[in-house]
Chain A
Amino acid sequence: MGSEGAAADRLLSWDRVSLVIGLLLLIVGHYQGLFVAPAEAMMGDVGRILYVHVPTAWACMLVYTACFVFAGLALWSGKGKWDAAMEASAEVGVLYNALLLIQGSLWARPTWGVFWTWDPRLTTSAIVLVLFVGVLVLRRVITEPERRLNLGSIAAVLAYAGVPIVYFSVKWWRTLHQPFSSPATVSDSFITPLRLAAFGMIFLGIGLIGLRWRALRREVERELSAPALPAALPTLELGQRGPGGAA
């Protein structure tokens, strides 16, 4: 890799700083949400799931948006570094999306009476998760680096089309899920832990993407720079005799 690779690693060194900031913000935000903020008027203590669920949802949408941007850059430039960034952000997006559905199910049981219902917000979130898992699986099964870059990026762009549908699902359809959440829609006493946890999830997501990007970039750039194999190797037909006369 030489000095160019070392310089690239230095550029990526922010990921560890972001990880530490994210973890600290998340610890403080969750502590405040669990033990300092008052219980919600109707939901009681179970409303405290707000401070883990809503920040995960916001961060998940941002991570998927980053994945969409990286996919576009990879398609436009054909460079392995953007391909690696796309895969790294898709992995973190899938993690956040899966956590989001688990948290939502655990919140739904005491408030709606069921762990799961085919509500538009829940269903579209699950579909997006399946689509991005599909992007990662597609990348695993394609071994040719340039083809993987192109098809993987196209798949990520198509999968991202589901994200705005998730966002607007609570507006477009009748749903059990509450409408858009923001600091403007919650009580003042809930805002600080909500903000801390939200920035915590975002910084943590940046750090996790950076960590995975660093490792994936090495692999992808090594594959893209490897000399291509000859298109067709000379073959011996069955029964054809070699120079020594052996079949």
Chain B
Amino acid sequence: MNEVVEPVATGVITGGWPYIIGAYGLTWAGLLAFLTRAVLLGRARPPESP
């Protein structure tokens, strides 16, 4: 006789804030890191032409 298996994935997903903070935090970190790099490279003096 086959055993009846109750579905387990029911209801609303609870918690998840570590994932939310990770997604937003890493996004802002990446954007600000790229922005900082772009500003610094923009200010760098080009090498003198020979």
Asked if B20 and A49 sit within 8 Å, CB to CB, the answer is yes
Whether the pair A44, B42 counts as a contact (CB closer than 8 A) is no
Would you list which residues of chain B between 2 and 38 have a CB under 8 Å from chain A? 12-17, 19-20, 22-24, 26-27, 30-31, 34-35, 38
Per the bound structure, the CA–CA distance linking A56 and B38 in Å amounts to: 19
The reply to whether A222 and B17 form a contact with Cβ atoms under 8 Å apart is: no
Q: Please give the distance in Å from B29's CB to the nearest CB on chain A.
A: 9
What DSSP secondary structure best describes chain B's contact surface?
A: helix
Which of B35, B44, B46 has a CB less than 8 Å from the CB of A19? Answer: B35
A107 contacts chain B at the CB level, 8 A cutoff: yes
Q: With contacts A109-B19, A222-B49 known, is A211 near B26, CB below 8 A?
A: no
B12:A41 contact, CB within 8 angstroms: yes
The CA of A98 and the CA of B34, in the complex, are separated in Å by 12
Q: Does A165 touch B at the CB level, under 8 Å? A: no
Contact of A30 among B16, B17, B24, B38 (CB under 8 A): B24
Which of the residues B13, B38, B39, B49 comes within 8 Å of A110, measured between beta carbons? Answer: B13
Residues of B within 8 A of A204 (CB): 31
- How many of chain B's residues touch chain A, expressed as a range? 20 to 34
| A137 at the B interface (CB under 8 A) | no
- B30: which A residues are within 8 A, CB to CB? 95, 98-99, 102
Q: A204 vs B19: C-alpha distance in the bound complex, in angstroms? A: 24
A188 to B38, CA, bound (A): 37
Q: How far is the CA of A48 from the CA of B19 in the complex (A)?
A: 10
Report which of A91, A106, A214, A222 forms a contact with B23, defined as CB distance below 8 A: A106
- Tell me which of B12, B20, B27, B35 contacts A56 (CB under 8 A): B27
Beyond A46-B15, A46-B19, 20 additional contacts (C-beta under 8 Å) are A19-B35, A41-B12, A42-B13, A48-B20, A92-B34, A102-B26, A102-B30, A103-B23, A103-B27, A109-B19, A110-B19, A111-B13, A208-B34, A208-B38, A212-B38, A212-B42, A219-B46, A222-B46, A222-B49, A226-B49
- Show 23 A/B contacts (Cβ-Cβ < 8 Å), sorted by A: A43-B12, A44-B13, A44-B15, A45-B15, A45-B17, A45-B20, A46-B16, A46-B19, A49-B23, A52-B23, A56-B27, A95-B30, A98-B30, A99-B31, A106-B22, A110-B13, A110-B15, A111-B13, A211-B38, A215-B41, A215-B42, A219-B46, A226-B49
